[in-house]
Amino acid sequence: EVFFEAGIHGDEIGTVENIIRFARDLCKGYGTNTQITNLVNTREIFLLLMVNPDGRESMSRYNANYVDINRDGGYMWNGEGNSPAAWSQVETKAIRNFLNQRHFVVVRSLFLTLGATVLM
């Protein structure tokens, strides 16, 4: 199982585009490209296109509660980005719960600098 997420910062629209293009490439290459066909056949691939839809609408890194959800996770949480507590936001709770229910060997959060070619 592999999981890719994008759009944690609503104002970084390139990451969402990378996931969409990755999904397109998987679909178009399946059955014609042996590497892609093998990837799809041997893995469960989960793609989350938009972690922060509120931020996307306002073109901001913050969600509707004005929390930077990139700073809301539990690992090394220290109250940055207006986060009142680790896992305080509905978005981070949903992702945490989803991840805890699965057995992912790869979890990748895409940021603006990551290109779709790196995913292959």
What is the pTM (predicted TM-score) of this model?
Answer: 0.83
Q: Which residue has the tokens 């600098």?
A: 113
How confident is the model over 70-79, as a mean pLDDT?
87
Q: How far apart are CA 43 and CA 2, in angstroms?
A: 7
From residue 68, how far is each of 32, 47, 77, 89 by CA, in Å?
41, 21, 12, 9
Read off the pLDDT band of 111 (50, 70, 90): low
pLDDT of residue 97: 94
Provide the β-strand partners of residue 46.
Answer: 3
Least confident interval from 78-82, 99-103, 114-118: 114-118
Predicted confidence (pLDDT) at residue 114 exceeds the cutoff of 60: no
For residues 79, 91, 11, 68, the Cα torsion angle rounded to the nearest 10 degrees is -10
Predicted confidence (pLDDT) at residue 4 exceeds the cutoff of 70: yes
